[in-house]
Amino acid sequence: MSPSQFLSQCTASAISDAAQVLANGGLVAFPTETVYGLGADANNADAVARIYEVKGRPSDHPLIVHIASMQQMGQWSDEIPEFAIDLARDFWPGPMTLILKRSDLAKDFITGGQNTVGVRIPNHVVALALLEAAEKVGIQGIAAPSANRFGQLSPTTAAAVQVELGAFMKDADLVIDGGTSAVGVESTIIDCTGDIPRVLRPGAITDEMIVESTGLQLRTHNAREEEIRVSGSLENHYAPIATVILDQQPVAGQGFIALANISTPEGVSRLAAPADNDEFAHLLYAALRDGDIKGLSHIVVTQPVGSGIAVAIRDRLMRAANSSETA
């Protein structure tokens, strides 16, 4: 894929062209507020198969369907509980994916053979424009995992998409450059198939926000129930090439990521010094990627403490460190 395939100017005609690429069975990488996604028409089995091929993703790993409006929820699910509607009203467009009982529209090639489907409305002007343009040409949803090779770092810029997937995409495919993703970590995934919500992957929509929205306490995992497979749920994931080490003192020659109030030892390469946890999430993947660009073999991360998005940051770092241990 050549650099000329970038759409650096997100004009109305460029978005319309991208929607037509999807309608023709092509792939479009596009920005969201969380990370960049690799999109295909969610009803086109051949196009969706190419997502799996380009990413090197296991075929039983389900995809998230991005939709343009709440009204489309009913197309993808026949059973939407009231608390899911509350969550959608409060947090869409936004960094939240709802897992619902699937309708006949959601085929096995989207759900990984499960009876559930994940849907979300992203909060990014380019993503929303693309979804609306796609709907006008008959596309009911865009299936889009993160635009990276499976298990690697999710991209938060169009340039990172090119590095990750450029060699695997076709000239007819497109990458839309919409700037840097604001949140920086993937969406919160909430299981809405039971009587009360359950968080399957933490993100910017926190436990406290979910409880306040629904008036319900969160459901915890029951070992007797069948686990729902969702994006990013493997123990080893979100990993750079470098070995990730958590909560140790870095030594000379290593990379280091920590809040700005933590000093950098002599000889250590400081990759990021975020001022707070929101900035930590925003910078995390880019900083880890920068460590790889610098050829560092080890990156030490002092994890943020507390609740909120810090929970999501620690989740991603734990999986990245697990990948390092099993490599």
Amino acid 189 reads I
Amino acid 299 reads I
> Which domain does 308 fall in, by range?
243-326
Which CA distances in Å does 100 have to 163, 195, 214, 229, 309?
A: 34, 12, 16, 13, 24
Q: Please answer whether residues 155 and 285 qualify as being in contact, where contact means their C-beta atoms are separated by less than 8 angstroms.
A: yes
For the chain, what is the domain count?
A: 2
Q: Is residue 310 part of a domain?
A: yes
Q: Is residue 228 part of a domain?
A: no
Q: Is residue 220 part of a domain?
A: no
Same domain, 176 and 318: no
Both tokens of residue 124?
């990014």
Same domain, 80 and 203: yes
Give the three-state DSSP class for 326.
Answer: helix
Q: What is residue 4's predicted lDDT score, i.e. its pLDDT? A: 43
**Kind of pairing between the strands at 188-191 and 269-272:** unpaired
Tokens 């609740």, residue located: 307
Same domain, 140 and 286: no
Q: What is residue 12's predicted lDDT score, i.e. its pLDDT? A: 82
Q: Is residue 223 part of a domain?
A: no
Helices 12-23 and 125-136, packing angle to 10 deg: 50
Same domain, 75 and 116: yes
CA distance 208 to 218: 9
Q: Is residue 224 part of a domain?
A: no
Same domain, 147 and 284: no
Q: Please answer whether residues 146 and 84 qualify as being in contact, where contact means their C-beta atoms are separated by less than 8 angstroms.
A: no
Last residue of a domain, one of 214, 233, 266: 214
Q: What is residue 228's predicted lDDT score, i.e. its pLDDT? A: 86
Q: Please answer whether residues 269 and 323 qualify as being in contact, where contact means their C-beta atoms are separated by less than 8 angstroms.
A: no
CATH code, domain with 290: 3.40.50.11030
Both tokens of residue 209?
């926000």
* Model confidence, pTM: 0.94
Q: Please answer whether residues 196 and 81 qualify as being in contact, where contact means their C-beta atoms are separated by less than 8 angstroms.
A: no
Same domain, 207 and 267: no
Same domain, 186 and 290: no
Q: How many helices (H) and strands (E) does the chain have?
A: 10, 15
Which helix H or strand E contains 7, and what residues bound it? strand 6-7
Q: What is residue 220's predicted lDDT score, i.e. its pLDDT? A: 81
CATH code, domain with 185: 3.90.870.10
Q: Please answer whether residues 300 and 250 qualify as being in contact, where contact means their C-beta atoms are separated by less than 8 angstroms.
A: yes
Same domain, 72 and 148: yes
- Give tens-digit pLDDT for 259-278: 999 999 999 999 999 999 99
All residue ranges of the chain with pLDDT < 50 are 3-4, 327
233: which DSSP letter? -
Same domain, 55 and 198: yes
Same domain, 314 and 197: no
Q: Is residue 149 part of a domain?
A: yes
Q: Please answer whether residues 172 and 25 qualify as being in contact, where contact means their C-beta atoms are separated by less than 8 angstroms.
A: no
Q: What is residue 151's predicted lDDT score, i.e. its pLDDT? A: 86
Q: Is residue 237 part of a domain?
A: no
Q: Is residue 230 part of a domain?
A: no
Same domain, 35 and 111: yes
Same domain, 75 and 172: yes
Q: Please answer whether residues 28 and 39 qualify as being in contact, where contact means their C-beta atoms are separated by less than 8 angstroms.
A: yes
